[in-house]
Structure formats: structure tokens, C-alpha cells
Amino acid sequence: MLNNSTKSKVCPYSNKLFEAKRQNQVFASAEDRIAYHNEQNNSLRKKLSFTNKKILKNYKIADEILGDFTDVSVHREYLKGMGFSFTVFTNLTQIKDELVFGLFDIAFMKLPDEDYYYLYRTK
């Protein structure tokens, strides 16, 4: 036996009252659902853009320095001069007993000589 009863709901995006066609229907229309999620994602992207820009800039700098090499050591002042920010990274990787900072597939670590950093591709 079919249950044709519908339930009135309020759309979280448009605040319109609508009759749900399915029990799990949340939005009044597909357009409202898409607009709601686009708005949520755009808001999140705006919040994260300040940090994401730094991370992407660091990655571009490290990638440019490495070029076709798998590893290279570079002076701290050279990195700073290119605009590298030492305060952001995407991950930590453990190499032997040491934690190394990562930018996606590139890792960087301070060498014992405090003026140089070692950059290398992890993959």
C-alpha cells in the first residue's frame, strides 16, 4: 500500500514552506540545494584563502627551486627573499627520528647549519 502523505517543511536556503516529495528531502528545489552548498563552500574558501595563498606560494617557490632535482639545500635568506613563509605547511613527515615540514609532496627541514634549509621531493 502506498503512503501518499506529504510533510510540510521549511527550506533552509529560501525559508519557503514546501511539501516534501520524499521523507529525506531538505530543500524546496535542486536550485536551492545547489545555491545553499555553493554559499557554504564560498564562505569557507574565503576564510581559508589567506593561509591557502601562503601555502600555494611556498609550494611554487619550493617547486621552482627544486626544478628537475629531487633535493637541494638553499640559504634561508634566499627563501625569505623569494617570499617563502616558514610559518605554514601542509603536513609533518617523520624521517628517521626527526619531524620534517611538508608542502604536499615537497619536504623542507632546517640543516644543522642554521642558515640553510634542505628541500626534497618525497614522491
pLDDT at position 4: 44
| Tens digit of each residue's pLDDT (9 = 90 or more) over 5-49 | 568 999 999 999 999 999 999 999 999 999 999 999 999 999 999
Which residue, among 96, 64, 57, 92, has the nearest Cα to 108 in the 3D structure? 92
User: What is the reported pTM?
Assistant: 0.74
| Tens digit of each residue's pLDDT (9 = 90 or more) over 59-94 | 999 999 999 999 999 999 999 999 999 999 999 988
